[in-house]
Amino acid sequence: MDTRYEIELNRHYSAAWGQRCAQYTWDRGPALPQRCQVFEYAPSDRTFSWVYATCGMALHTEAVSLELFLLSPCQAEEHVELLTAIAHFHQTGARLDLGHTVNFGRPWLKDSRCSFGLISLPYPFDPALENASIVGKRVRALWLLPITSDERSFKGSSGLSALETLFEQRQFNYLDPLRRSVVEMAHSSP
């Protein structure tokens, strides 16, 4: 990975989230065809949460470099592993993009009902976060939003727009790992 790419991507991320706290490379499990790091940003007056963001998720041959970020109420090494596994899938399996879902293979955090991730627009932040030019390459930063299995099923049957409408109507707390599904909430509402 180009050091200039790391520096410029961190500068782009820092404009949204504040100073970078730490940088990790997950070295357990299958090797990635191309190195991917995860940047960890501590809570700040801009985020009020921990932010984990990929750096180098997309292969150099891709026209647009996809990078994902995950918000969390707590600092957790599992987020580094999760984002690295998703980067591995993106590099060796199917190319991920806006509106896709990924199976985490476990709860997002302990006892969480969320075991899938929805690749979404970065709604909680300034729209400028989504698109950047980093060392002459177009980069798209999207939000990996933890969702439940019935939210994933609802998206499959009713579409992304319908799911996002439910999120908005229910004003759910996306940082709560123990939150109820918005689909469940909609069915239990009078």
DSSP, residue by residue, 31-62: PPSS--EEEEE---TTTSSEEEEEES-S-TTS
Distance, in Å, from the CA atom of 125 to the CA atom of 8, rounded to the nearest integer, reads 19
Count the domains in the chain.
Answer: 1
* More confident call, 59 vs 81: 81
Residue 1 clears pLDDT 80, i.e. is over it: no
Q: How many CA atoms lie within 13 A of 67 on its CB side?
A: 29
User: What are the pLDDT digits (tens) for 67-125?
Assistant: 999 999 999 999 999 999 999 999 998 899 999 999 999 999 999 999 999 999 999 99
pLDDT at 159: 96
Mean pLDDT lowest among 49-53, 70-74, 185-189 = 185-189
**Full residue range of the structural domain in which residue 139 is found:** 3-188
